[in-house]
Chains A and B, each alone.
Chain A
Amino acid sequence: KNQVEQSPQSLIILEGKNCTLQCNYTVSPFSNLRWYKQDTGRGPVSLTIMTFSENTKSNGRYTATLDADTKQSSLHITASQLSDSASYICVVKGFQKLVFGTGTRLLVSP
């Protein structure tokens, strides 16, 4: 069964600290993996997209990694800011199908 599992479900960190969010998937065949950031009350916004051949991609303070062998991805946030408080959703594209994780809710505390 095609699934995307994210951990942790929720996370609280202090402003300025780093954190890493995890995404494990069983989607096959694999086309690409995306991380989205969703602020409360808004639609998701794409942070990174990685294909099979890419194992790391950065977008400012966000760095995503992909291990296609173990079917794992992580999103690392460096020097967190209050504006990073949001839900982060991992989405894996299989053969013409998108499979969504349920997200990690991050709260950055001052």
Chain B
Amino acid sequence: DAGVIQSPRHEVTEMGQEVTLRCKPISGHNSLFWYRQTMMRGLELLIYFNNNVPIDDSGMPEDRFSAKMPNASFSTLKIQPSEPRDSAVYFCASSVSGSTDTQYFGPGTRLTVL
């Protein structure tokens, strides 16, 4: 089992550019989560999908952020336009939904916006 796969692992971009982060969940998992982690705020849930449908996007900071899950094996998180304050590590996690639904995290994408 390859685990949750994220790409790219590192991204450096200039303010105003569009950034797309990608995630492949563990096969058979039906819930997918996008998180952002910074030193100041810790781990924050941005959005999660259940069976490819967005369930809760209340953590998405603003309209510059959007997430899609076109099928069970792929999701994207897009930031447009990017700003320096978006610099963080973005994690994707997947789980089998249920009462305990342990989440398995990917290695993260470290985003730096200059």
Contact = CB atoms under 8 A, between A and B. Distances in A.
The yes or no verdict on A and B being binding partners is yes
B105 A49 contact: no
Contact of B44 (A34, A43, A100, A103): A100
A96 B56 contact: yes
18 contacts: A31-B99, A32-B100, A43-B4, A43-B105, A44-B43, A46-B103, A46-B104, A51-B100, A89-B43, A97-B56, A98-B45, A100-B42, A100-B43, A100-B44, A102-B41, A102-B42, A103-B42, A103-B43
Contacts of B41: 102
B25 interface: no
A42 B107 contact: yes
Greatest chain B CB density within 10 A among A32, A43, A45 is at A43
B99 A43 contact: no
Q: How many B residues touch the partner, as a band?
A: 10 to 19
B67 interface: no
B34 to A, nearest CB: 12
Interface of A: 31-32, 34, 41-46, 49, 51, 89, 96-98, 100-103
Contacts of B99: 31-32, 51
Contacts of A51: 99-100
Interface string B73-109: 0000000000000000001010000011011111110
Contacts of B43: 44, 89, 100, 103
A97 B33 CA distance: 12
Nearest to A99: B45
